Amino acid sequence: MSEEAPTLLPRHVAIIMDGNGRWARKRHLPREAGHVAGVAAVRETVRAAVDMGLENLTLFAFSSENWKRPKTEVGALMGLFRRFFNSDMDELVAKGCRIRIIGHRGRVADDIHSMIEDAERRSVANKGMNLTFAFDYGAQEEIVAAARELARAARDGRLDPETITPELFASRLFTSALPEPDLIIRTSGERRLSNFLLWQSAYAEMLFLDTLWPDFGRADLAAALETFSQRERRFGALNSESAA
């Protein structure tokens, strides 16, 4: 299998990184071991994406629903987040990545909040790949927050409700600085979005892989991009052959 990206690349790839727990269970290991292996897959995938010339990569790192998991597992995930940012930030900045974190920032510990702000500050002038982590993120919560902001503006007389368009609404989302995802990949065999980029994925191509996230690597990303390059995107219109 080739590990080179095809000529036609999506502008924005988003990945739901799923399957850490099942990967560990298959090996009779604790779930935390799966998350450790998952971080290694993040590292390899980001490096591959940079090498292949992707413009935008968004990774679903921690959902707003993940707080419901056992405290020990949440604590382990937060610890891995800290370690990743401490160990990998210099490399990401050196590679020209511009780091963004989208989601609810008020629920994380103070030191993680500082790490987030530091990563964004250090990389803000970079011109390479936009690397976005959806962390403590939920799409429904994001959409409600945008609606609430527009409602307040209308209530205060700063906005005529009749002027609200999909483009204006999208400008209030966390991802307003990014193009909408062209390709969404989900690992582990599950076939759902799980509250990820619900508004933004209206015309995204979906690719559901049986591969568990810790086993996902450079070759898998290249294969996913090749699959995308072979798809015909019509955005609701007919292709020329069907229209004839």
Task: Give the domains, in start order, of the chain with CATH numbers.
Answer: 12-230 (3.40.1180.10)
Instruction: Confirm if 43 and 89 have CB atoms less than 8 A apart.
Output: no
How far, in whole angstroms, is CA 47 from its chain's centroid?
15
Quote the CA–CA distance of 238 and 236 in Å, as a whole number: 7
Q: Of the residues 51, 56, 66, 220, which is catalytic?
A: 66
First to last CA, the chain: 37
Q: CA dist 141 to 129, 146, 148, 150, 199, Å?
A: 26, 9, 10, 14, 11
**Taking Cα atoms as reference points, which of 141, 244, 235, 226 lies closest to residue 185?**
226
Catalytic residue at 66? yes
Q: Which helix (H) or strand (E) holds 47?
A: helix 31-52
Per-residue pLDDT of the chain (244 residues; tens, 9 = 90+): 456 666 689 999 999 999 999 999 999 999 999 999 999 999 999 999 999 999 999 999 999 999 999 999 999 999 999 999 899 999 999 999 999 999 998 899 999 999 999 999 999 999 999 999 999 999 999 999 999 999 999 999 999 999 999 999 999 999 999 999 999 999 999 999 999 999 999 999 999 999 999 999 999 999 999 999 998 766 655 565 554 4
